[in-house]
Structure 1
Amino acid sequence: MLPPLKSLPVFEAVARLNSFSLAANELSVSQSAISHQIRMLENYLGENLFHRQGRHLELTKEGKLYFDSISHSLLQIESATNQIKGQHKTHIRLAVYSSFAVYWLIPRLPDLKRLHPSLELSIEMSHGSPDLSDRTADFFITVEKQKRGFSFEPLYQEELFPVCSHAYFDALKNRLNATSNQELEHKLNTTPELLAQFPLITSNSIYDKHTEDWKHWFENLNHPLPSTTQFHHFSHLMLACEAAKHSLGIALVNDYMMNEKYEETTLKRLPCKAFKTGDSFYLAYKESRKNEDAIRHLKHWLKEEAKSLP
């Protein structure tokens, strides 16, 4: 038997917004009407769909499973209805890592808007890997590469390399007595421990432990990390990048953080070798939604823009 159908869009809105009041505003009904519909659905299912602790609201295990199932069905109903009415879904939620969003995606959004003016894009930033679910977003940039019901397409294979500010680069050349960039490149590639004479900026957002990024960089060159190295510690790659811009030392960043569109980057890449972190970024979306116009347009645009990445 079907559940009370009026309750399903109410449950979807509450679960997606994580709020009874926000769902009431979106659906233009009272909060008591929302509570009534949720209670009716829970009674029908014989399961609690939410944990309620004061103002804090959280889906139960059963609620998460039910949301993943019915949200997809509601999206299909909406899509089929819009097709019959000659309308197309133009709003799409994209979940993306914060550093990728700030340094690479946002500078390119004006191009997307000019190319697809009717496409409404909402950005959901995440520090870790976003949960691949309709309640999180419609489209994802993630390092995950498999989940049942999802399609994945490779976007970028991550590499890290040393950078510093332009002023710091000039000071580094002078201190190492390098009269040219070519001479500096030779010195750093033959004796990479020369970098350890300078403060190194480390973050724990990739390897979950400070200094691991630099240990991997030195190991990639078959050199141990000098024990006398001075470090500046930050919790996120974005903070390490900003610290390098302000001449605090030398940081390890990746290509998309250096790929500033239409303007010269404030960071200078040192003439050193890069190393692959082992992470690859993928575009991910529900297989059942691959033919939606918004999904197709966003996927094509992202792949075209990413051609500037290695």
Structure 2
Amino acid sequence: MSVPFRAIHYFVEVARLQSFSRAAEHLHVSQSAVSHQVKLLESYLDKPLFVRKGRTVMLTAVGQSYFQEVVGALELVESATRNVKENDTRQVRLAIHGSLAVKWLIPALDDFRERYPNIDLTLQMLTQDGQFDSQWADCFITTQPPGTGYQRYHLYDETLKPYCSKTVWAEAHRITDPAELARFPLLSAISAFANGKPGTDWQRWFEKVSLRLPKTAKVHHFSHLLLAAEAAKYGQGIALLNEFMTTEEERKNSLFELPFHSIRTDDSFYFVYPSSTAKSPGLEALGDWLVTLCRNR
């Protein structure tokens, strides 16, 4: 029997996603087709590759060892194929959250293109963190870096600071007591903390200085930081924002930082890509540039 290459490809997707159903979605096939291919590979190897734990699947010791060797080989084939196709122009596809791209990355892209004119960078909008499909993107900016088969580089730890419009700032920047900020409408982003409840960001901000969010505080809720930032720009209150979610132009003209303490969220951002492509000139150049961009923020 010849080596079942399709089964190996399906095995790699299940191992990466730890789910037969999610692997099926990525491969655009049925879950039964994925299960069949994995069983075919296990039969070929005469060894179990997965064990089930609730709704997730985990690699066996043999499966883990096999995955580490196979995933690198598959990605080398993909990388070699792309290199032949791309000739002198290095094409790099970066997956990133849309809001982070709009506020932080896109305004800086002219500098990247000037430094690396032979790199054709394509931005892919990441809709769900933890997706690492090499058929869709070559590298990713994520808060959930995979631990196996990937290189990862720390970009920054997310910190939230109070920002507001120029009108609100004119009054609020004179305040020295953090408790008095509750006199203004507080704009809260639910997504600021994983599994956080509405208002968690402001609750933690007050708790850092041994205060409680007053029950009388007027808190307006938004699903994402981007929405809270826009509301703050229009003078609707004070928002706790990640500096990377504000542009240089906004910080000069429409979003002003108040002189108070900051808080850390649960998120750190990483630039990640498959270990097998770590020596790709395009990925190395992009990684170095991103790290420098964050350090110079």
TM-score, normalised to structure 1, is: 0.70
**Alignment CA distance shift 1:257-1:84 (3 Å):** closer
- Could you tell me which amino acid in structure 2 is paired with residue 303 of structure 1? V
Asked if 1 retains the 8 angstrom alpha-carbon contact of 2:75 and 2:277, the reply is no
Asked if 1 retains the 8 angstrom alpha-carbon contact of 2:271 and 2:287, the reply is yes
**Alignment CA distance shift 1:130-1:82 (3 Å):** closer
**Alignment CA distance shift 1:83-1:101 (3 Å):** closer
Equivalent residues in 2 for 1:13-162, closer than 5 Å: 73=73, 75-80=75-80, 87=87, 90-162=90-162
**Alignment CA distance shift 1:263-1:163 (3 Å):** closer
Deviations 1:223-252 (A, max 9, x none): 111111111111111000001001111101
Q: Percent identity?
A: 34
| Whole-angstrom CA distance in 2 between matches of 1:133 and 1:85 | 20
Asked if 1 retains the 8 angstrom alpha-carbon contact of 2:96 and 2:142, the reply is yes
In the other structure, the counterpart of 1:299 is 287
Asked if 2 retains the 8 angstrom alpha-carbon contact of 1:82 and 1:88, the reply is no
Asked if 1 retains the 8 angstrom alpha-carbon contact of 2:93 and 2:137, the reply is yes
Greater Cα offset, 155-164 or 136-145: 136-145
- Could you tell me which amino acid in structure 2 is paired with residue 121 of structure 1? L
Asked if 1 retains the 8 angstrom alpha-carbon contact of 2:92 and 2:138, the reply is yes
Question: How far 1:146 sits from its partner (Å)?
Answer: 4.3
**Alignment CA distance shift 1:159-1:199 (3 Å):** same
- Could you tell me which amino acid in structure 2 is paired with residue 227 of structure 1? K
Asked if 2 retains the 8 angstrom alpha-carbon contact of 1:82 and 1:89, the reply is no
Asked if 1 retains the 8 angstrom alpha-carbon contact of 2:203 and 2:213, the reply is yes
Question: How far 1:116 sits from its partner (Å)?
Answer: 1.5
Question: How far 1:72 sits from its partner (Å)?
Answer: 6.1
Asked if 1 retains the 8 angstrom alpha-carbon contact of 2:158 and 2:266, the reply is yes
| Whole-angstrom CA distance in 1 between matches of 2:111 and 2:257 | 26
| Whole-angstrom CA distance in 1 between matches of 2:232 and 2:238 | 6
Question: How far 1:132 sits from its partner (Å)?
Answer: 2.7
| Whole-angstrom CA distance in 1 between matches of 2:84 and 2:123 | 29
Deviations 1:80-121 (A, max 9, x none): 467689935612221222321111001111221222222222
Asked if 2 retains the 8 angstrom alpha-carbon contact of 1:89 and 1:294, the reply is no
Equivalent residue for 1:290, pick from 274, 278, 284: 278
In the other structure, the counterpart of 2:225 is 237
**Alignment CA distance shift 1:195-1:224 (3 Å):** same
In the other structure, the counterpart of 1:249 is 237
| Whole-angstrom CA distance in 1 between matches of 2:187 and 2:168 | 13
Question: How far 1:70 sits from its partner (Å)?
Answer: 8.3
Return 5+ residue gaps in structure 1 as ranges. Answer: 21-38, 48-60, 62-67, 174-180
Equivalent residue for 2:256, pick from 241, 262, 268: 268
Q: Give the paired residue count.
A: 260
Aligned residue for 2:109, secondary structure, equals helix
- Could you tell me which amino acid in structure 1 is paired with residue 214 of structure 2? P
- Could you tell me which amino acid in structure 2 is paired with residue 101 of structure 1? A
| Whole-angstrom CA distance in 1 between matches of 2:69 and 2:155 | 28
In the other structure, the counterpart of 1:196 is 182
Asked if 1 retains the 8 angstrom alpha-carbon contact of 2:188 and 2:220, the reply is yes
**Alignment CA distance shift 1:256-1:288 (3 Å):** same
Equivalent residue for 1:206, pick from 189, 192, 199: 192
Asked if 2 retains the 8 angstrom alpha-carbon contact of 1:203 and 1:209, the reply is no
- Could you tell me which amino acid in structure 2 is paired with residue 201 of structure 1? L
